A and B are shown apart, each in its own frame.
Chain A
Amino acid sequence: MKRHDAIVIGAGVNGLTAAAYLARSGLRVLVLDRNARAGGGDMGYEIAPGFRLSRFALGHMGLPSGIVTDLDLARHGLRFLRAEGGVTMRPDGSYLASYRDGDVQRRELARHSARDADAFIRYRRDKLADAQRLAPLLTGGMDDVVGRNFSAFRRRLALAGKLGAMGPADIIEASRIWTQSMAQTLDDYFENDLVKAHLAGPALMGATLGPSSQTGASRLITGFLGLQGRGAQDAAAGLPDHVMPLGGPDALLDALRHAIEAAGGSLRLEAEVTDVMIRDSRVRGVVLADGEEIEADAVLSDLDLKRSFLGLFQWKDLPDGLVTKTGAFRTTGAVAKINLALDGLPSFPSLPQGCGAIAGGLMLGTSLDEMDRAYDDWRDGLPPRGPLIQAFLPSLTDSTLAPQGKHVMSVMLQFVPQTLYEGDWTVARRTELTKRVMDRLAEISPDLDRLVIASELLLPGDMENEAGLTAGDLAQGEMTLDQMFVNRPFAAGGSYETPLRNFYICSSSAHPGTLAAGMAGANAAARILSMGRKRAAS
C-alpha cells in the first residue's frame, strides 16, 4: 500500500493550490480528481475543435499575487493578460463602458450624468478603502475567535481593541457596506439607472441576493480586491481591469500542476474517492471507486462541505451534530451558462468603431428594479423571464483560444433556479431559455446568431453532475454574511480543521470562499504546516 503525507480530494484551484504549498514544504502530496480534466468549477474545455473556453465560469480568472509569487507560477509557465473595460448595452442603443483611465472613465460617465461622474471619484475611493480593510482578513484562518475557551476569549478582546482603533467614520462606513443593500449603496452615490446597473450587474453574478437585499452591498467591493498594489496607488484611476490567464483556465491549472509535480507531488485524474478511512477516530486515508486504498497523514477536501461530509463518510462515523450542521450550510445554484463558438467577431452597431471596452465583456442593460424582479422570479422557482446576461469574449484578448479570426463567447445567466416550481428542466424549457437569451443578445448584436458554430447551455443541474458542485453552486456555499468569515463553513466555526482529526476543508466552502481564488487552499495548507511544525517542536 502506498503512503502519502497528504491527499487532496478534488483538483480545483483551491485543491491544487493547497497541494502546491504542501509539496513545496517537502510533504509527499497526492491530488485525486474523479474527472478526466482538472479544475472543477473552473475547468476549461474545447466546445468545438480549436475553440477553448472556461466551461462553467465566465473566464475572468486571477490568483492573488502572493500565491503566484510563493509558488513561482511564472516559472511554471503562467502569464496573465489584462483586459480593460466591460460595457453595458441597452436595446435602445445607449451604452456605458468601463475604462482603466480615470479621466476617460469620468468623461464616459458624464455622458449619462455629470453628477455621477463626480460621484464616481468618491465611490471608487470608498470602495477601494473598503477593499483594503477587507484584504488582511482574507489571508490566514479566522481561527477560533468565537470559541468558548479562555484563549479564544483573549483573542476576541484583543481583536475588539484593534477594531476600536478604527476612526468613527471608518466604523460607520464599514458597518454600512456589510449591512446595506447594493441598491442603497448605489443610490447613495448615483442617480442614473444605467450607471447603477453597470456597477451592480457584475457584482450580482453568482449572488443569491437581489439588489435590494440587505448585506448585499459588500459584493460591490470584491471587484476592487485585486487592486492592492498598482491600481490602488492611483487615486484618480477608473474601474479595475479583468485578469485572465494566457491560454485560458487550463493554463492556470497546468501551472499549478507543474508546481506540484516539480516539488515531488502528483496528480491523478479519473480517480474518484468514494470513502475516507477512519481508524481510532482519526482519518487515515482514502478509498477509491475501484477499491484501491491510499493512506495519508492528512486528507484535505476541495469538495464543498456537503459532498465532503455527507458524500465521503459513513454518516454513523461522523461526530454528533455534524450531519445537522452540514445540512444547515446552504448551497444554492443561481447561474447558468451558454458557451458559444463563433465563426467571426459579432458586430455591436451601437458601439463606436473600435471600442476597446468590449474586450472586458458586455452586459445587457437593465435597471436595479428589473434585477430585483429577476431575483423574485428565481425565488419563485420560475424559469428566468428577464435574466441578467453577462457575456465575455476571451479570444479578443487571447488569440490562442480560437482559430484565426474566430472567437469563443461565454454567456453567464444570473438568477436561474436549479429546480423549477413547474417541473423539470425539460429539453423544451432548455431550448426556450437559450432562445430567449439569444433573442436578447440579438438586440445588441444582430449578426451573432448567424456566426454561431457550436452552442451549449449548462444549467445548475449540469454543474452539479459534471463538476460535483452541490446544487450547482459555483461558490460551494452561499456567500451571504451569515456564511462568511467566522461562520464559514460552520456557524461560529470558521476553520480549515474539522471535528474529524486529520481531515481538512480546503475548498471555497471555507473562508474566504470566492472572495479570493485559491486563498482557502493556501490558508488550509498554512494551517496544516503550522500544526506540523508545532508537533515537530513538541
Chain B
Amino acid sequence: MSTVKTHSYDVIVIGAGHNGLVAAATLARAGKRVLLLERSQQMGGAMATAEISPGYRVSTAAHMIDALPPRLERQLRLKKYGLRYGKQPLLTMALNRDGKHLTLPAGNKPMEGLSASDGEAYIRFARQREGLARLLSHAMAQRAGDNLGHSLQRLIWRAAFMRHVAIGELTQFAPARLGDILDREFESPLLKGALALDALIGQAEGPYEPGTALQLLHKTSQRQGGARQRVPLGGLGALAEALCGAILARGGEIRPGVEVSKIIVHGGHAAGVETASGEKITAAQVLSCIDARTTMLDLVGAACLDTGLAKSFRQIRHRGATAKINLALDGLPTIAGLAPALAGSRFLIVPSLKELDEACLAFRRGGLTTEPPMEVHLPSVNDATLAPDGQHVISIIVQYVPHDVTGGWNTAHEKLVQNVVQTLTLYMPDIASRIVAGEVLTPPDIEMKYSLTQGDWHHGVLDMARLLTLKPAALMEGYGSTIPGLYLGGAAAMAGGISGSAGEAAARAMLKGRA
C-alpha cells in the first residue's frame, strides 16, 4: 500500500461566483473539507447587491436568477440561510410603445393579446420549442466518452415517442437563423422582437445569424424542469449570502481576498494551489469555477498541457455584448397601459426584430445604436428594502454594446446613457425626471469589476460548437480537465446564466470520483 498523504483540505474551490458557491456548498454538504478562495473581498461574483446611492440598493451586475433548480435550493437548505422570494411570480412582458403590452407565458401556455393566427402559431411554436429543447437536453447529456452511436439511437427512440416534434425538425431548427423562424411563424413585430431578445440576451450574435435558433432551444431547455427566472429579496447578493451560510454551516471554509496564482500539479495530479502572496495550500482535489481559459493557460500553464488541449483553450473566444445601468429613482415611473401592480415584472424592450438586428449591426461595426434593446427590471416594486419609502431602483441590461467602442468609452459613455434614457422615455415618459443617481457598467467595467474577460457573462462565446459539446475543450471528458484531480465548474463548462448548474455538475462528478 502506498503512503497515505494528508492534505489540509479535500477540495479547494477557486472563485466564489454562483458556480463556485454552489459547488462548495454541495461538496461541504457531502462531508468534504472544502476551502473556497475568492480574489475579491466580495463573495458572489456577478451576484452582488450594492448601494448605488445612500439608501438605494440594487443587484449591480446580474439582476435575476436564471435557472437555479428548486431541488438544489431545498438540498442546500437555502431558505434556512436566509433566501426569500417576493410573493409575486415574476412575469416577463414585452413592452409596447402604444401601451398594449404582451405577457410571455412560461412553457407552452397560450398567450393573450395576439391576433388569432399568431395565437395559434404561438401554441404550435411553443410546443415545438419545448419538444425540441427536451430532445436537445438529452443530446447534451451526452458525455465525450459515451458511444455516440448508442446515444444517438437513444435520442431517436425518445423522439419516436414524442407527440409534437420529430427528429428531423431538430436538424432544420438548430442551425437556422432565429429571425427567419420567427418571421415564418408570427405576424406581431413586438412578439418576434421579444422572443428573439429573450433568447439572445447576453450573446454577441444578431437574430439573423445562423445557429441562433439553437440558442433559443438552449434557453428553453434551461428553463425546463421547474427552474425559472426569479428575483430573491435583497437582490442577488442575498443568494450569495445564503450559499455562504450553507457552506459555513457544513464546516466549509471561505477566504475572501485571496488570489490564486498557480494550481500546483504534482506528478501529473492536481495537488493544491499557490496564492499571489506565495502561500501554498494543499488539497486532494481542485475545482476551478473561474473561466476555463484562465484556469488552464494561466493557473495550470500550457507546459502541463497537451499541445492540442492548450490550443483548444486558447481558441475560446470571449466577446461581451452588454452594458448594465442601475438607476435610483425618486418614485415609481409611469408605464403607459400597465397596472402599477405589474411594475415589478421583467420587461423586454425592443419594438421588432428589425431594431434588434440594426442594434447588432451597429455593435458589429463597433458603434452604439440610438434605440438599444434592453431587459429592464424594477426590483424595488416587490422588495421595499431596496429603496427608501416610495422610491425605487431600476436595473437595465443593455444589449449589443461593444467592448471596444469606436472612439473609446470616454466619449461613448455619455451617449450610451443618453440613448438608454431616451429609449426608456418612450415607454416610461417621466423616467428622466425621476433619476436621482445612477451607475453605468460598460463591458470594460464589467470585465474589471467582475473578472469577466471582455465583459462576457458566459466565459466565452456560446456558439453552436460550444453549445453542442458544452465543454470548453471538446477533448475533455465530462467536467474533469484531463489533469487528474482538477475539475472545471465555471460557466465555460456548462453555460446558462445564474444557475449554479456547472458548479453542481462538477461537484457531483467529483463526488462520484469520475472525470
Chain A residues with a Cβ under 8 A of chain B: 145-148, 153, 156-157, 160-166, 168, 171-172, 175-176, 178-181, 184, 187-188, 209, 213-216, 328, 330, 372-373, 376, 379-380, 480-482, 485-487, 491-493
Contact = CB atoms under 8 A, between A and B. Distances in A.
Contact of B465 (A171, A175, A373, A480): A175
A175 B463 CA distance: 12
B175 A379 contact: no
B152 interface: yes
B173 to A, nearest CB: 8
B149 A162 contact: yes
A162 B149 CA distance: 7
Contacts of A165: 149
A376 B357 CA distance: 11
Max chain A C-beta neighbours (<10 A), residue from B315, B465, B468: B465
Main SS at interface, chain A: helix
A376 B205 CA distance: 12
Contacts of B315: 184, 187-188
A204 to B, nearest CB: 14
A160 B317 CA distance: 31
Interface stretch (B89-97, B164-172, B331-339, B385-393): B164-172
Contact of B156 (A156, A330, A376, A486): A156
Contacts, number: 121
B169 A481 contact: no
B469 A482 contact: no
Interface string B370-382: 0000000000000
A364 B414 CA distance: 40
Contacts of B211: 179, 214-215
A166 B361 CA distance: 39
Contacts of B180: 330
Nearest to B308: A169
B468 A175 contact: yes
A181 B166 CA distance: 27
Given A180-B465, A482-B177, A492-B166, 4 more contacts: A164-B148, A175-B468, A376-B361, A482-B175
B205 to A, nearest CB: 8
Main SS at interface, chain B: helix
Contacts of A161: 149, 153
A380 B361 contact: yes
A482 B156 contact: no
B359 to A, nearest CB: 13
B427 interface: no
Contacts of B474: 172, 175-176
A534 B371 CA distance: 62
B171 A175 contact: no
A24 B347 CA distance: 65
Interface in B344-368: 357, 361, 364-365
A165 B153 CA distance: 13
Interface residues of B, number: 45
A481 B210 contact: yes
B304 interface: no
B387 to A, nearest CB: 42
Contacts of A164: 147-153
B176 A482 contact: yes
A188 B465 CA distance: 13
Interface string B313-343: 0010100000000000000000000000000
B166 A146 contact: yes
**Shortest Cβ-Cβ A-B pairs, 6 listed:** A164-B149, A146-B168, A492-B168, A160-B152, A214-B211, A481-B175
Contacts of A373: 365
B210 A160 contact: no
Given A180-B465, A380-B361, A214 B210 contact: yes
Contact of B463 (A147, A179, A487): A179
A170 B475 CA distance: 11
B144 interface: yes
A425 B205 CA distance: 30
A481 B151 CA distance: 22
Max chain B C-beta neighbours (<10 A), residue from A214, A216, A487: A214
A486 B168 contact: yes
Contacts of B145: 168
B514 interface: no
Given A156-B156, A163-B148, A181-B463, A379 B361 contact: yes
B122 interface: no
A485 B174 CA distance: 14
A376 B475 contact: no
A179 B169 CA distance: 17
A98 to B, nearest CB: 26
A180 B169 CA distance: 21
Contact of B171 (A163, A179, A480, A487): A487
Contact of B210 (A188, A209, A493): A209
14 contacts: A146-B167, A168-B144, A168-B145, A172-B475, A176-B465, A180-B463, A213-B209, A214-B175, A214-B211, A376-B364, A480-B175, A486-B171, A487-B168, A487-B172
Contacts of B184: 328
Contacts of B357: 379
Nearest to A147: B168
B126 interface: no
Contacts of A485: 171
Contacts of B464: 179-180, 214-215
A175 B474 CA distance: 10
Nearest to B477: A168
Nearest to B466: A179
Interface in B443-491: 463-465, 468-469, 474-475
